[in-house]
Amino acid sequence: MKTLYTRIVLIVFMILLLSGAIALLVSNFAYYTWWQPSYSEKTSETASTAIGYFSNHTDQDESAFYTLLARTGYQLYVVKADGRVVRYGGTFRDESIDDQIVASVRNGAVYEGMRDYPFHLFLLGLFDNEVVNTYGFPLEGIDGVDAVFMRPDLSAQIRELHLFVGLFFALLTGLAFLLIAVATRSIIKPVKALTDATASVASRKRPRDLPLERADEIGILARRFDDMARTIETSEQARRRFVSNVSHEFQTPLTSLSGYASTLVDSTEGETQQYAKIVRAETTRLSALTHQLLLLARLDEANLSLDQDVPLAPSIEDAVRGLSFQLDRKGIAVVTDLDDITVKGDPILLAQVWANLLQNAIHASDEGSTIRVQLRRDERVTITVSDEGDGMDEATKARLFERFFQGDVSRGAAGTGLGLSIVHDIVALHGGTIHVDSTLGSGTTFTIQL
C-alpha cells in the first residue's frame, strides 16, 4: 500500500506530465491555426527572392546556387530535369513525395506543403523534417527545369537554442520534482507526528512533539488533538481513582462476608449449608476480582520500583508450587527447563505473571495433560509456557489481552477476564513483550521476552 508521501509525490508528478501534455497540445493547435501559414509565407518569400537572384545575378550554375542557398540555413531536395535527386543542406527524415507533385512543380506550379501540412496531435509541423513538409517551386537552369523543395534547416539554424531549451526544461522538470518531494515531506511530517500521537494515546501515554505552534489547519488539528488527549487523560485518571477507591471499599465488607459465610458452612447443615457455600464461593470470586482491579490500578499508576534483582527460576518454581493443589486435582504434570537467570524488576509482579499464565494453562488443559515451562537466554531472556489444550481461533487471539475478555466460556466462568491483561501490562512495564502462538486443537504457547 502506498504511503501518503508517495501518493502525493506521484499525484503531483502525474499533474506535471498531464499539464505538459495539455500545454503541448494547445501550443500545437495554436501553431497549426495561426502560425503555420505565416511560417510558410516567409519561406515562400525567401524562395521568390532566391529565384530572382538566380535569374539576374548568376551564370545559371544551379549547383552553386543550391549550395549557397543551403548555407543560408535551408534544406533542399532537388529533382533534376533528368530525374536525378540531389540533396543540399541537412538530410530529410522522410523523402517520399508523390511523382504527380514533382511533375506539377516542374510544370510551373507551386507546392504549398508547409502551409497545407496536416494537423498532428502532439507533433509540431514546424519540426517535422519531411519532403512533403516543404515549399516547392520550379527553377529553370541550363539543363532544364528542376523541381526544388525547400524548408528551413532548423538543426543548423537553432541548434544552440535546442540545447538551451532542452537543458532548461530538463533542469526545470528535475528541480520541480525534487522541490515537490521536499515540500511534500514537510507536509507529511506533522501528519506523521499526529499518527504517532494516536498510537501514544492508544497506549495510554501523553503524545509528544505535536506541531502545536503551526498556524494552519494542521496546527489547529494538533491543538484540538492535544486537548482531546488531555481530556482522555483526565478521564482515565478519574476512572483509575474510582476503580481503586471502590475496590478498596469492597475489600472490607467482602472479607466480613467471606468470614460469616465460612462460619455458616461450618455450623449449618442441609440446604442452608449449600446456600452458605454458594455465598462463600461468590464472595471469594468477588474478592479476587477486587484484588486484580487494585493491581491494575497500581500498574496504571506506573510509579513502581523495578530495580530489584529477581532470580527467575526460583520465582517460577514458587508459582508452580503455589498451584500444586489445582494441578493435582486435574492430574496435570508440569515440566520445567529453567536456566539460572536474574533480571531487574518487581518480584511480586513477576510472580503474578507466572501464576496467571499457569492458571490460564490449567484452565485450558484437560485432565492428565502436561504443561511445559522453559526459561532460557538468547538475545533476550525468554520464558515460554505451553499447554496441550484445545487452542484458540484468530478472533480470540486478537482480543486475548483485552480487559474483561473471556475467550472460552465453555470451560466455566470462574475467571474474571483480567488475568492476561494483567500479564500484558506487567510485562510491558518491565520493557518486555508477550506473544501467543495457538491454533485450534494443538494447544497454546505464551512467549515472554524480557
Closest CA to 386 of 360, 349, 367: 360
Ranges of each domain in the chain:
4-157, 217-301, 308-449
Phi-psi label, residue 108: left if phi above 0, alpha if psi -120 to 50, beta otherwise: left
Q: Give me the helix-helix angle, 217-267 and 159-202, nearest 10°.
A: 20
- Distance of alpha carbon 15 from its chain centroid, rounded? 21
Rounded Cα gap, residues 173 and 167, in angstroms: 10
Confidence of residue 121 (pLDDT cuts 50, 70, 90): low
Could you give the count of Cα atoms lying within 13 Å of 34 in the half-sphere of its Cβ? 5
CB 133 within 8 A of CB 125: yes
Cβ–Cβ < 8 Å for 44, 36: no
Residue 27 or residue 262, greater confidence: 262
Query: Could you say which of 1.10.287.130, 3.90.470.10, 3.40.50.2000, 3.10.180.10 is the CATH number of the domain covering 217-301?
Result: 1.10.287.130
- Residues 146 and 137: their CA atoms lie apart, in Å, by 8
pLDDT band at 248 (very low <50, low <70, confident <90, very high): low
Q: What is the DSSP string of 22-66?
A: HHHHHHHHHIIIIIHHHHHHHHHHHHHHHHHHHHHHS-S-HHHHH
The pLDDT-based confidence of 123 (bands split at 50, 70, 90) is low
Placement of cell 487452542 in the chain? 391
- Judge whether 217-301 and 308-449 match in fold: no
Q: What is the pLDDT of residue 184?
A: 75
Which of 85-89, 102-106, 439-443 bottoms out in mean pLDDT, i.e. has the lowest? Answer: 439-443
By mean pLDDT, which of 69-73, 160-164, 397-401, 416-420 is the weakest?
A: 160-164
Whether this model's pTM surpasses 0.95: no
Mean of the per-residue pLDDT values for the chain?
81
Of residues 38 and 43, more confidently modeled: 43
Give 208's pLDDT tier (boundaries 50, 70, 90). confident
Q: Name which residue leads in pLDDT, 37 or 2.
A: 37
Fold that domain 308-449 belongs to in CATH: Heat Shock Protein 90 (3.30.565)
Q: How far is CA 134 from CA 39, 137, 358, in A?
A: 11, 10, 93
pLDDT at 420: 86
Q: What is d(CA 26, CA 15) in angstroms, rounded to the nearest whole number?
A: 16
Amino acid identity at 341: I
| Locus of grid cell 455465598 | 279
How large is the C-alpha radius of gyration of the chain? 45
pLDDT range class, residue 413, cuts 50, 70, 90 = very low
Helix count and strand count (H, E) for the chain? 13, 12
Write down the pLDDT at residue 447: 94
Alpha carbon distance 232, 209 (integer Å): 18
- Average pLDDT (228-235) is 82
Task: With a cut of 70, say whether residue 4 has pLDDT above it.
Answer: no
pLDDT at site 127: 67
pLDDT confidence bin for 304, thresholds 50/70/90? low
The Cα diameter of the chain in Å comes to 147
Residue 312: which pLDDT band, with cuts at 50, 70 and 90? very high
The candidate with the shortest Cα–Cα distance to 180, out of 314, 310, 19, is 19
Range with the largest mean pLDDT of 20-24, 180-184, 219-223, 242-246: 219-223
pLDDT category at 11 given cuts 50, 70, 90 is confident
- How many Cα atoms within 13 Å fall on the side-chain side of residue 26? 6
Q: Which of 244-258, 373-387, 405-419 is least confident? A: 405-419
Look at residue 285 in the predicted model and tell me its pLDDT: 72
Residue 156 has pLDDT above 70, yes or no: no
Give the residue-averaged pLDDT of 337-358.
Answer: 89
